[in-house]
Structure 1
């Protein structure tokens, strides 16, 4: 259990429908090079669950989800992001969605790098696969600033992402989606307190 993490439950937000997100067939979204001046410090700051998910009342064929739990991820006492999970009756199987609202400036390349680091810890892919996934995420994830949000949608066919409610792109690989969302939801996550907060069952009503 990480002594550097602090979590809380927050009030429900406006639900989002999965079918309202336009599918993006392309995998990579290129952007300009990041400065990298704070690379080492930021990587240390975010080298635990990072990088992306939102959704409705009941789970059905159209991917409507309801809100589960929320929590905060902190590193070295700094609030890095707030996370909220939407899911059906089983909060660790697709379809589900996880929203990260960032509270610090972080390069997209570092988000991808930290995500690969966590997947490697879970032992869910070999080196070649990790390298390929890392390249895809580096091309996909944008630099973020306080208030920006990335929503990752875990679907049977892969993962779809939005940035500030705008379509960002997708990685159409079920193995990637399973490994990526395991960063937060696997029993062996490096942040078990955050996992417990996200998996808090929603109250009836």
Structure 2
């Protein structure tokens, strides 16, 4: 099921990110030294715009955005897993901000999204699971996450447990537990928002869950 395409991200942030992506692609493919100078200047201007919008130093923006494979600027991939047991959802407390999220992280090269999320749940919560259904594929900028200089596609999987072990946190987390929808802890909004958790419960309750995508 396709979601409303209206973007919730600030228009100028969207434009600055797109401008930087076009400049980086031009930097990679151009063979003309004068064009290279122009693309370099455009990239610097776009980075300065992002820094102004985020009220952070330009050096921080430069550090957030890595070189793009093949020369094309493409979105990063964030993967999250929903494990629901007895009407409660598994959340982990992130060491970086002390807030809670569905287990997950960046997609890794060399493995599939399903393999990625099964590994993430094991590493962050100590539970063996199997990815069963992709219930949402979101463009981060189109939803009320905090503004981000980077661009993300977010994949959300329903996962089934292999057993009912007690969650155990890992190196990147400081706690792991199951929570009911009406007693959620404070969420790490850069990773997941309340609507993501609600969508997980809705998908779990359906016999044939739909996949929501932007």
TM-score class normalised by the smaller sequence: under 0.3
- Higher Rg of the two aligned structures: 2
Query: TM-score, length-normalised on structure 2?
Result: 0.24
Relative to its length, the structure with more helix (as a share) is: 2
